[in-house]
Amino acid sequence: MATRTEILRIDTLARPKRLPAEYRDDRRSVYWVEREPLRCGPDGHTVVAATPRVIELSRHKTVVGAWRPHRPTPIWPVASGAMSAQPSSRITQLSQHRNPHNSYLFDRDPMWDVTDEAAQARASERLEQLATPKTREERFSNFDPFWGYTYPVSENAQRSRCTERLESLAQHKGYHKEFKDERPIQWEVSQEAIEAIASLRLQQLARPRSRTMIKDDYDPYKVSPSAKKTRATPRLEELCLPIPRKVRQKKALGT
């Protein structure tokens, strides 16, 4: 059983903690800062009293007396005064179109008459020389023989005789003695191949796989126990070694 002292201690700890005198409760709304929000009146609505400045700012902007709204349509009646008005000399001058330049030439018609002087004119010797087309060799003066350019060959080159070594080098390279041409797409089947009989093993391998031999739970990545216990032969270990010329020693960093 608890003693009297323990019971008194439990009662003391069970009492709520007293709030200090300067404690302030949390705000109930973000729309008021240092005073309580407005409360509803007798009719259930909040009554707000606006200051004269607020009432003045809440008024809409007045329109200037000289302002006129936009025309409702681009077509409007013309006043009789505007119909009978006479333009001034300045307005008449500004309404005239701009004249082209004195040296301006309009577009020439693709078909025009040739004057008699141009039809009876005789070309000069220089003009006929310039009108003569260039020859093919002069026009395409490049090193392409297909355009008419010929390579001049000297007389010594035409009379020269090649040596035996040059003739030997000029011969094309022959094929290997065991070289065989490409096999045709269609060829005759030998009589031996037609009369050949497949062995028992060949027939067994050619037989399609039976559906009963397929295992649904087959795991291709599973290693068999016998493969785990195998030991590599010395020759296999020798083949697994890297090529000596491709092996590089690690460089030791200086301490």
Q: Can you give the pLDDT at residue 253? A: 63
Q: Can you give the pLDDT at residue 140? A: 47
CA dist 6 and 13 (Å) reads 11
According to the per-residue pLDDT averaged within each range, which of 131-145, 197-211, 228-242 is highest? 228-242
Tens digits of residue pLDDT in 231-249: 999 999 999 988 888 877 7
Token pair listed for 93: 């001058």
> What's the mean pLDDT in 44-49?
72
DSSP assignment string, 10-61: HHHHHSPPPPPTT--PPPS-SS-SSSPPP---TTSS------HHHHHHTSPP
Token pair listed for 47: 């009554």
Q: Can you give the pLDDT at residue 131? A: 92
Whether this model's pTM surpasses 0.85? no
According to the per-residue pLDDT averaged within each range, which of 1-5, 17-21, 191-195, 215-219 is highest? 191-195
> What's the mean pLDDT in 114-119?
90
The phi, psi pair for 42, rounded to 5°, reads: -65, -30
Which CA distances in Å does 138 have to 127, 132, 141, 213? 19, 13, 5, 84
pLDDT band at 149 (very low <50, low <70, confident <90, very high): low
> What's the mean pLDDT in 150-172?
87
Which CA distances in Å does 88 have to 85, 91, 218, 255? 9, 5, 107, 104
CA dist 96 and 87 (Å) reads 13
Q: Can you give the pLDDT at residue 142? A: 53
Q: Can you give the pLDDT at residue 179? A: 92
> What's the mean pLDDT in 197-220?
80
CA dist 101 and 146 (Å) reads 54
| C-alpha triplet 101, 106, 112: angle, nearest 5° | 145
Contact criterion met (CB below 8 Å) for 224 and 230: no
